[in-house]
């Protein structure tokens, strides 16, 4: 196969792969990293941390911090997925 045939065959994939790599690097990786750190006692200043499980969330609940965002999130999801597209 010549280089021209390879470029013609796979040129479209470059437009898909680049945004996917950027999305993984700048969205998914930090999201999962933050979720992992929420289950540790890491301070952010040292390399030492211990896995504490859901203890951090129990502490938040014990001092009165509740997940008040859940009702508004539910409202947004219901209104988004129950609306009809505009008619032409």
Query: What pLDDT does residue 26 have?
Result: 96
The dihedrals phi and psi of 54, each to the nearest 5 degrees, come to -90, 15
Q: CA–CA separation, 28 vs 52, rounded Å?
A: 23
What integer is the mean pLDDT of 50-58? 90
Q: How confident is the model at residue 17 (pLDDT cuts 50, 70, 90)?
A: very high
Answer yes or no: are the C-beta atoms of 36 and 50 closer than 8 Å: no
User: Which pair of tokens denotes residue 20?
Assistant: 């996917």
Cα–Cα distance, 15 to 40 (Å, whole number): 38
What's the pLDDT score for residue 58?
Answer: 87
pTM: 0.61
Contact indicator for 33, 44 with CB cutoff of 8 Å: no
């Amino acid at each position: 196969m010549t280089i021209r045939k390879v470029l013609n065959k796979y040129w479209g994939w470059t437009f898909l792969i680049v945004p996917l790599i950027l999305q993984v690097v700048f969205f998914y990786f930090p999201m999962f990293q933050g979720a992992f750190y929420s289950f540790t006692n890491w301070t952010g200043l040292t390399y030492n941390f211990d896995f504490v499980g859901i203890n951090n969330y129990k502490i938040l609940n014990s001092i009165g911090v509740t997940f008040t965002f859940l009702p508004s999130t539910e409202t947004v999801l219901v209104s988004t997925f129950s609306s009809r597209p505009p008619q032409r």
